[in-house]
Structure 1
Amino acid sequence: MSHFAPWKPCAVAVSLGALLCAGGAWALTPTNVTQVARVTGASLSGETLPNPNQTHVNYEVMGTDLGILWDKGGGEVFVLFGDTFGHGWCGNGGCGGGWRSNVLAKSSDRNLADGLTFSTMIQDVSRHAKEILPSKKINFDEMTVIPTAGVTVGSRHYIHYMSVHHWGDPGQWSTNYAGIAYSDDNGQNWVKHGSARWPNNAAYSHPFQMAAFVKNGGFVYMYATPNGRFGNVYLARVPEGALLNINDYRYWDGNGWAASQAAAVPVVMGIAGELSVVYHPTFGRFLMTYLNEHRQAVVIRDAATPTGPWSGEKLLATGARFPGLYNAFIHPGALNGPDLYFISSQWTPYNTFLMRATLTADTFGDNLLSEPGFETQAATPTMAPWWVMGQGGVDRGLGQARTGANAGFVRSNSGWNALKQSVAVQPYTDYTLRGWVRTSANNTEGYLGARGVNNGPIVGEVPFGSLTNYSQLSVTFNSGPHSLIEVYSGIWAKNGDTWMQLDDVSLTRGPNLVAQGGFEQQPSSAATSPWYVEGQGGVDRGLGFARSGAHNGYVRNNVKGWNALKQEVAVVPNTNYTLSAWLRTSHSFNEGYFGARVLRGGPVLNELKLTQPLGGYTQVSVRFNSGSQHSVEIFAGLWANVGDTWLQADDFVLTRD
């Protein structure tokens, strides 16, 4: 039994204006994005950026893209590039002579203010960067092999790559499969593993074709999208030592980890291409960047835990400012303050550049919606991530906003007209949607709410009539079986010209972190994700044993040993939590435990020992500090040591103090 650990104040004090310590994890937004230096290729006429690597003369790398970064150990990072061209490069995009599907550099440079300097590149002959993963280079067979992520575990280095079948329309290529290659000689030679692969399907829609890797808590988390740039983001993980064992991967099913790839649901709603994900220790946040083609911008999201919930998109860099921009790979060696360094590609020069942004506090906090105040909408009518059903758009700089310069609107003299946005959520979880609304005087029927995507079933909404001034409306709902929902605000125009304006919209998750805490959504008597049983137990379904609802969990055994109900729950490190549930037991019960521990049989964070039978449902609770963990295991169990012994549990709640 471990003792409760007191709350720990923020370990790092960073002067960021309004950014305040809030339990060790803050929502973030990027500002002051600048181009620092060229990373690859020759400087163009009139270009004043530093160009420390001169790759066109030192390694015959004249045109290339990507620039995937990861910590390789020993004070160095790997920098991994995609299709690369040398002498005979066409000079505009990815084409021409000297073609290699991928090349690899090393860097020990940590002073990034003046650029990123390579130590060397992996070479096959002197002054010629080597193709490290070969490809057939046959269209509609294997056109090329493009790396998408890298990670190092111990002394072995790993690359996630995609075998490209065909380059189609911009952003719409197809792949044969995704795979993992490894190197045991410091990156000089690589082996494509024969079974660590994710074959694509006939529709070219398999969700694990492009990836980003993050090491955390003894696992490697793999964030992934389908081929191309228009998919959602999915998540898998594998123990660090099992990266090449495809059967050891587990896939996020919305509430827990499943062995089946088909069970995976999105953790982030796309449009997403060329992911990069890191953990930022200063802020205690995971950062995710990707290209959103619909917004013509690289965007960033953040989250306190690997599974989310992930914030809405925030613009990191736009194509309007940096023409042809299409990715942002974060440097892992510069995560010790507010400045975020990343490598981005631009198509027209077909080369890579080091960029910098300053991370500051996000006014909207842990808001799951993108563009909540419509402030970066580029034009009317509305653009992604909002879209209009009926008639509407964005009032830009007209003095009609509640805050800032812009607001969304719908306006018509007939029918249903609404602003809508889709977002990834956790199934069977409580959320609160808020928005500030005002309308014309003749509005009689409006709604703010949430439903399944594609006009699916409504899960919650609040009606409104005429609102002369901006008024905040809110609705709390349960997501039900949905992993994606659509939030909306709209009006039925019935009385001639009718309008509604919407601003400062937010969607936040409810306080209970336990999934299916009342067992009501469990589909059978055998406990299924997110609940697991150690020993003997399951779910009492409709047997009249529940404290509330129809179902409850149980463990029962007459053989000496440990039996427990368990669930993995995402938490914020160094944060206090309170876990509670309602328990009752058999008369033969004399030793049980209720608490939280580190995953995979790790140390107990705190637990309550029970030594007396509980004849009726009794609420028990325990407080604990999460320590360095991003996930913990909650449990309620017993030692069966005096014959037939059972414990029933219902209505689990875990909340942040």
Structure 2
Amino acid sequence: MGRTTTWKRVVAVQAVWLLGGAGTAGAVTPTNVTKVARVTGATPAGELLPNPNQTHTNYEVYGTDLGIVWDKGGGEVFVLFGDTFGVGWCGDGGCGGGWRSNVLARSADATLSNGLTFTTMVQDRTRHAKEILPSKKVNNDEMTVIPTAGVTVGSRHYIHYMSVHHWGDPGQWFTNHAGIAYSDDNGQNWVKHPSARWANNAAWTNPFQMAAMVKNGGFVYLFTTPNGRFGNVHLARAPEGALLDINAYRYWDGSGWSTSQAAARPVAIGVAGELSVVYNAALGRFLMTYLNEHRQAVVLRDAGTPTGPWSGEKVLATGAAFPGIYNAFIHPWGQSATELYFISSQWTPYNTFLLRASLAADTQGDNLLSEPGFETQAATPTMAPWYLAGGGGIDRAQGQARTGQDNGFVRGGSGWNALKQNVVVQPHTDYTLKGWLRTSSNNAAGYFGARAAGNGPVLGEAPFGALAAWTERTVTFNSGANTVVEVYGGVWADAGDTWAQLDDVSLARGANLVAQGGFEQQPSGTATSPWYTLGKAGIDRGLGFARTGANNAWVRNNTGWNAIKQEVAVTPHTRYTLTGWVKTSANQDDGYFGARVLNNGPILNEAHLTQALGNYTLQSVSFDSGPNHAVEVYAGTWANTGDTWLQVDDVAVTRN
């Protein structure tokens, strides 16, 4: 795009990510989870784990939970805990004397194979861990203030916290608001910022009440859920230097970033509680963990970019193996291509432990569905993340699966019987759904497909009759305006007792990483997410100027740089091809079509349009993404010779 001065003045506030990275190398599955050491509390009789911190005697921390850990700089990490009890702790859950809403430790221990040793805990008196964020401790007002995430930018440390109004049933609680607190003295004292807050609503459903925080590419990404453990995962971000400016946050709307919280759409379907998200440089993947209470397990997802697409859930640690487990906070120094260290809480004995998991290569990293082969289904009524309509369940080790031990089944004597799962998609994007089916001989009305969530319109489906042997069905569909779709396989039992079995289901995104590449879904002449403009630009809607369809984008001015652009998520160190069709005014002699690094970074490659293009002409630019997780693609022109315009249509980025 040649000259960069004008561009640099405005680009930083107009970036937008796209979903991408399907099939990314480095996807993993956790295995062989073991408990390494106790982190907090006293060693009970018979426990043989190392206990390097002896927090009960050293800091009057007898019982506590969480263990949120992040790199604070200076060769240390912070380790942040929730409700904490001292002398008089009840010994079973969070209750008793010496109550503090939260406490904080520092650690320089980089050798985690034998445990996590604290350097010290922040104290208000000798051998007494300090409550760093005060709370009223009044039920139905402010019962407590619980930290949910932390991050350090420069020398300033930040905590995301929730103000708990009252506790509800197990796994449910209700918050007044979430907020950001900060410290400028190495964590000794903290200030709750008065306006860096997300107020809850009257229905207690605001999705920005609990969080995980990740620095990447000059931004801090805020992955969030509502209060409690049963919500979807949403995403916001702010520039690193603007975390205390609530107006600086932008919210992922399914295709791009919006200034409106109300526009936010999920990046992953819950049931999710107590998030942890990190970037694993060895894998080139982001890792997300959370508790899925319906599965009675802590699960892991991975993705090539913060916005996804996120893989399906993979079981990290079960409640059967670790009774009462309810989180997994990843240690930023304890992750490699083959290992993952994390801190988990167990309700009884209401303390925290360091755990280690092995990471094995996952050949289905592009599969967006959880439990595609039904192999880790527990014997629960809900069978999450699969859900039933009518009759059905899981064939566990019955010798009937196509692969592995288990498969899903539906069966009924009448009506609709189906297995179904909700999954996040990018709007107006192509997907391919595959699955293997087998049925009873009397089946005549089976359907395998995808529809809008909540029994919405069918987006694509494959009907099937009697299938005596396992048979693959493939469905291609476009997501339309939806950000969540429901995948299903089922039968109408119109001929009496009818059954179908389902196994090895997959959902993968199409190749084009550009959203709305043909501009057909743009709602007005003003460009909206995921497209953004510099100078004078917009959308020609139904004016007869498009190459295909009804719409195209335009830029036009008599001075300066004018462009339309979009931020596309990519896999680092990977080659891509950007294509698009461009037409210009007769006097255009300094146009550009290309890709560059975000935040005014280097141009990766571009086509310089030095001559007028009287008809739509295909432009093709090949580039390497370098170390970046996102690039910005653009089409624009310098209006050097008076009134100058450029039109662009059918833009695509595909992985080579």
Matched, 1:473 2:473: yes
Q: Which moved more, 1:99-108 or 1:455-464?
A: 455-464
Given that residues 63 and 84 in structure 2 are in contact (C-alpha distance below 8 angstroms), is that contact kept between their aligned partners in structure 1? yes
Cα deviation, 1:546-572, whole Å, max 9, x if unaligned, reads: 1111111111112x2111110011111
Does residue 40 (structure 1) correspond to residue 36 (structure 2)? The answer is no
Question: Aligned partners of 1:528 and 1:300: how far apart in 2?
Answer: 33
Q: CA deviation at 1:600?
A: 2.4
Residue 334 of structure 1 aligns to a residue in which SS?
Answer: strand
Is the CA contact (8 Å cut-off) linking 1:77 and 1:108 kept in structure 2? Answer: yes
Counterpart-to-counterpart distance in 2, 1:177 and 1:615:
56
The alignment of Structure 1 onto Structure 2 pairs a total of residues equal to: 637
Partner of 2:550: 550
**CA apart distance, 1:335:** 2.2
SS at match of 2:48: coil
Matched-pair contact (CA < 8 Å) for 1:535–1:562: yes
- What is the Cα deviation at residue 300 of structure 1? 0.4
Does residue 605 of structure 2 align to residue 606 of structure 1? yes
- The one-letter amino acid of 1:563's match is N
Are the equivalent residues in 1 in contact too, given 2:23–2:364 (CA < 8 A)? no
Please name the residue that 1:534 is paired with: 534
Query: 2:258 maps to which residue?
Result: 258
Matches within 5 A, 1:146-545: 146-379=146-379, 383-545=383-545
| Residue identity matched to 2:456 | G
Give, in whole Å, the separation in 2 of the partners of 1:435 and 1:84: 48
8 A Cα contact 1:427 1:483, kept in partner: yes
Letter in 2 for 1:232: N
Shift of 1:95: 0.3
Number of the residue aligned with 2:118: 118
RMSD: 1.2
How far 1:413 sits from its partner (Å)?
A: 2.3
Q: CA offsets per residue over residues 300-349 of structure 1, 9 Å max, x none?
A: 00000110000000000011111110000000012234110000000010
Match of 1:8 in 2: none
How far does residue 67 in structure 1 lie from its aligned partner after superposition? 0.2
Q: Percent identity?
A: 74
In structure 2, give the amino acid aligned to 1:618. T
Q: 2:613 and 2:417 mapped to 1: Cα distance?
A: 56
Aligned position for 2:9: none
The one-letter amino acid of 1:638's match is: T
TM-score normalised by L of structure 2: 0.96
Match of 1:76 in 2: 76
1:137-188 residue CA offsets vs partner (Å, 9 max, x unmatched) = 0000010000000000000000000000001111110001101111111011
- 3-state SS of the aligned residue for 2:185? coil
The structural deviation recorded for 1:608 is 0.5
Counterpart Cα distance in 1 of 2:469 and 2:361: 29
Partner of 2:618: 619
What CA distance in whole angstroms lies between the structure 1 residues aligned with 2:592 and 2:557? 15
Q: Is residue 23–residue 365 contact of structure 2 (8 Å, CA) maintained in 1?
A: no
Quote the residue 2:13 is aligned against: none
Which residue is equivalent to 2:17? none
Q: Spell out the pairing of 1:1-150 with structure 2 (5 A cutoff).
A: 25-150=25-150
Aligned to 1:594: 593
The Cα shift of 1:380 comes to 6.5
* Counterpart check, 1:656 vs 2:650: no
> Which amino acid counterpart does residue 55 of structure 1 have in structure 2?
T
Q: Is the 8 A contact 2:66 2:345 kept in 1?
A: yes
Alpha-carbon distance between aligned partners in 2 of 1:99 and 1:299, rounded to the nearest angstrom: 30
Q: Which runs of 4+ in 1 moved over 6 A?
A: none
Instruction: Specify whether residues 650 and 342 from structure 1 end up closer, same or farther in structure 2 by C-alpha distance, changes over 3 A only.
Output: same
Query: Taking structure 1 as the reference length, what is the TM-score of the superposition?
Result: 0.96
1:10 alignment counterpart:
none
Aligned counterpart, 1:639: 638
Q: Would you say the 8 A contact 1:392–1:418 is kept in 2?
A: yes
Superposed CA deviations along residues 492-538 of structure 1, whole A, max 9, x for unmatched, are: 12222221110000011111000000101100000000001111110
The one-letter amino acid paired with 2:604 is L
1:574 aligned to 2:562? Answer: no
Deviations 1:15-63 (A, max 9, x none): xxxxxxx997321110000011100000111011111100000000000
Give structure 1 stretches of 5+ with no counterpart: 3-21
SS of alignment partner, residue 56 of structure 1: helix
Given that residues 382 and 392 in structure 1 are in contact (C-alpha distance below 8 angstroms), is that contact kept between their aligned partners in structure 2? no
Q: Distance in 2 between matches of 1:174 and 1:262?
A: 20
SS state at 1:333 partner = strand
